[in-house]
Structure 1
Amino acid sequence: KGMAIGGIVTGALGMIVAAVVLVLGMIGIGMLSECAENAVQDSSGNYVCTIHGETMTMSPKEYEAVRR
């Protein structure tokens, strides 16, 4: 009986963690897309943008991957 309860608790915790990771991933992808739309290329070839008061820098490869 105790092992069954432990399995249910472990499964529930796994589902909660998966949902949190999914939400954070979607937020991150949205921020990268917004950054790519407003990015400016600097003298070293990197792309720089500011979102919500934070400056982000992307390499040209990262920029191209997000723009696709």
Structure 2
Amino acid sequence: MAFLGVPYGVPYTGRGPELPSAAAPTAFRAASLAFQPYYRNYDVDFDGDLFADRALSLADAGDV
């Protein structure tokens, strides 16, 4: 799985120096760090380990 940030908003003049959507990639990265310790949790749908010893690979491809 890869995460590619596109920190741009609507190409029209906004009400401030930056549109809120432009900060979304950075906010997503910051929020996802809170879940890092729990990536091996219980999966209620499959009644077992969330990733069941499968390799999980996540790459941050940066911003465009």
User: What's the TM-score once normalised by structure 2's chain length?
Assistant: 0.37
Question: Which structure ranks higher in relative contact order (CA pairs < 8 Å, sequence separation ≥ 6)?
Answer: 2
Higher helix share: 1
Q: Looking at CA atoms only, which structure, 1 or 2, has the larger radius of gyration?
A: 1
User: What's the TM-score once normalised by structure 1's chain length?
Assistant: 0.35
